[in-house]
Amino acid sequence: MKKTNIILLVVIAVAIGVIITMVGDFSTYETFATARQKEGKEFHVIGTLDTLQTMTYDPLKDANFFSFYVKDKKGETRKVVFNGAKPTDFEKAESVVLTGMMDGNDFHCSKILMKCPSKYKNDQVVLGKTEPANKPL
């Protein structure tokens, strides 16, 4: 075999190895139950804020401690602890994506992504103008 063919085969083998290891790192949205089964591993959990439970954030006492409750897509509610400031308009979020891991019964997250409601959600277009949906035509 020629040297170029051998080098090409080695490059292809390395590329396949890199692709396989990268695919193994891609994460999907999980539930608290899955995160609890694999405690210590980081997951992305999507859910909604449980407004019936209390949120704890006192910036005068500790500006980097925020705890709240989230209901995941299976309906399980867990306490979430975030070591950071409470995001602006957090209560208005339709859903949240939490990146973190289970620690006992609590989910400790390192990142919070919020899906906020669209300000155009209740609007409709009438003759090229944006009008509120509840306004009679």
Percent of the chain exceeding pLDDT 70 equals: 80
Res 47: pLDDT: 92
Res 48: pLDDT: 92
- Taking the C-alpha atoms of residue 38 and residue 42, their distance in angstroms, rounded to an integer, is 9
Residue 69: which of 89, 35, 45, 38 has the closest Cα? 45
Res 28: pLDDT: 73
Res 111: pLDDT: 92
Res 59: pLDDT: 87
Low-confidence ranges of the chain (pLDDT < 70): 22-27, 118-137
pTM of the model: 0.65
Task: Write down all domains in the chain, each with its CATH number in brackets.
Answer: 28-115 (2.40.50.140)
Res 82: pLDDT: 93
Residue 86: which of 52, 126, 105, 114 has the closest Cα? 114
CA angle 91/96/97 to nearest 5° reads 155
CA angle 83/84/89 to nearest 5° reads 130
